[in-house]
């Protein structure tokens, strides 16, 4: 049996009484992102196996409404990194995957069988995003299991007008996230997560103790991994200062609109969102 207490304290910064972590689950709790990769390549045979694991994830009604674009060309990967601008380490990854929601395949299947595609709506958009995310998460778990490391990149959506043409994404297909894949130079520390009492609700949603729980979480994060000045969000709007906690930094980010053109982009890609 894994050292449950040590694993959970590393992840949450507190003890989780009564929780026992089976050995098979321990690697999931010990998962870390990686932002620096060695020069070692990822063999096609291994990558194909990991992609097969991704395709084994659950899919809504077996519709399988997602696609993944595999990028290995270092120059093209660097182009994405240059567009993002603040993540130069993306260019060090030997593989960059772009996970995409895909309504197009279903539309083509309906056309092949002379039937209308009557589900171009907000629910279908959500289903494509969820199918895609489940597959990406299963890929991440499989990659971790063989010693590879990954880091999801939502910022591909911040440059969607460039990324989509680069990948030749047609109508009905849009990027959900990028994912760097490679052999880690080193393992980063475990990221501290919110206490389960904030995230896990029993029978009914209840956040009456949120303020108290967040105060404790902010303090634990400050002690272990304080917010660095370079990590403060929206310094052009909120002056930087010492002592900003996790929750305030989240508020700094969420108080300013991000990717407000995403819905308009989706409509140009054939999504009705009604």
Arithmetic mean of pLDDT, 119-134: 97
Walk across the sheet containing 149-153 and list its strands: 66-71, 95-102, 173-182, 149-153
pLDDT digits (tens, 9 = 90+) for 68-103: 999 999 999 999 999 999 899 999 999 999 999 999
pLDDT of 241 higher than 90: no
- Would residue 206 count as lying in a domain? no
pLDDT in tens, 186-214: 888 899 999 999 999 999 999 999 999 99
Question: Can you give the pLDDT at residue 274?
Answer: 86
pLDDT score, position 211: 97
Of the three residues 130, 152, 186, the one that is the final residue of a domain is 186
**Interval 154-180 mean pLDDT:** 97
Rounded CA-CA distance 122/45 in Å is 37
| 247 against 229, higher pLDDT | 247
What pLDDT, on a 0 to 100 scale, did the predictor assign at position 45? 98
CB atoms under 10 Å from CB of 147, counted, come to 8
Predicted pLDDT of residue 229: 79
Confirm whether 106 is domain-assigned.
yes
In the chain, alpha helices (H): 4-12, 26-29, 44-55, 74-84, 104-112, 122-145, 160-167, 196-199, 210-224, 246-254, 262-268
Q: Does one domain contain both 21 and 128?
A: no
Residues 87 and 145 in one domain: yes
Residue 112 has pLDDT above 80, yes or no: yes
User: Quick check: 9 pLDDT over 80?
Assistant: yes
Residues 155 and 222 in one domain: no
Residue 266 belongs to a domain: no
Do 162 and 36 lie in one domain? The reply is: yes
pLDDT of residue 240: 87
Secondary structure element (H or E) that encloses residue 174, with its range: strand 173-182
Residue 269 lies in a domain: no
Judge if 142 and 219 occupy the same domain: no
pLDDT of residue 260: 84
pLDDT confidence band for 147 (50 / 70 / 90): very high
Residue 52 and residue 10 share a domain: no
Supply the pTM of this predicted model.
Answer: 0.94
pLDDT at 1 over 80: no
- Same-domain status, 98 and 158: yes
What residues contact 131, with CB distance under 8 A and at least 6 apart? 57, 59, 60, 63, 64, 65, 66, 101
Shared domain for 103 and 68, answered yes or no, is yes
User: Domain of 107: which CATH number?
Assistant: 3.40.109.10
Q: 130: which 2 tokens?
A: 């969820």
Q: Mean pLDDT over residues 52-60, rounded? A: 98
* Domains identified in the chain, total number: 3
Residues 43 and 157 in one domain: yes
**195 falls within a domain:** no
Q: Which domain holds residue 26?
A: 1-30
Asked whether residue 148 falls in the same domain as residue 176, the answer is yes
- 59 and 116 assigned to the same domain: yes
Asked whether residue 273 is domain-assigned, the answer is no
User: Could you tell me if residue 150 is inside a domain?
Assistant: yes
pLDDT value, residue 228: 82
125 and 64 within one domain: yes
Q: Is residue 202 part of a domain?
A: no
Determine the pLDDT at residue 22: 94
Question: Percent of the chain at pLDDT above 90?
Answer: 88
Average pLDDT, the chain: 95
- C-alpha closest to that of 85 among 153, 2, 183: 153
pLDDT of residue 230: 78
């Amino acid at each position: 049996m894994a050292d449950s207490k040590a694993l959970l304290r590393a992840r949450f910064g507190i003890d989780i009484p009564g929780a026992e972590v089976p050995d098979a689950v321990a690697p999931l709790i010990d998962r870390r992102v990686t932002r620096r990769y060695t020069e070692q390549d990822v063999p096609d045979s291994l990558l194909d196996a990991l992609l097969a694991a991704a395709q084994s994830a659950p899919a809504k009604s077996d519709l399988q409404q997602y696609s993944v674009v595999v990028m290995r060309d270092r120059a093209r990967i660097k182009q994405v990194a240059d567009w993002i601008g603040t993540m130069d380490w993306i260019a060090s990854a030997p593989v960059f995957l772009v996970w995409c929601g895909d309504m197009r395949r279903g539309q083509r299947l309906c056309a092949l069988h002379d039937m209308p595609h009557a589900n171009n709506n907000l629910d279908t958009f959500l289903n494509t995003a969820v199918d895609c995310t489940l597959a990406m998460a299963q890929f991440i778990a499989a990659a971790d299991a063989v010693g590879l490391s990954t880091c999801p990149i939502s910022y591909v959506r911040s440059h969607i007008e460039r990324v989509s043409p680069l990948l030749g994404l047609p109508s009905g297909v849009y990027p959900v996230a990028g994912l760097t894949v490679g052999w880690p130079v080193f393992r980063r520390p475990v990221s501290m997560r919110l206490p389960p009492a904030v995230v896990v609700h029993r029978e009914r949603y209840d956040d009456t103790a949120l303020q108290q729980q967040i105060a404790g979480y902010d303090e634990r994060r400050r002690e272990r991994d304080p917010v660095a000045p370079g990590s403060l969000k929206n310094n052009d709007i909120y002056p930087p200062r010492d002592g900003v906690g996790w929750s305030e930094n989240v508020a700094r980010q969420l108080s300013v609109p991000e990717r407000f053109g995403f819905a308009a982009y989706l409509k140009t890609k054939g999504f009705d969102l009604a």
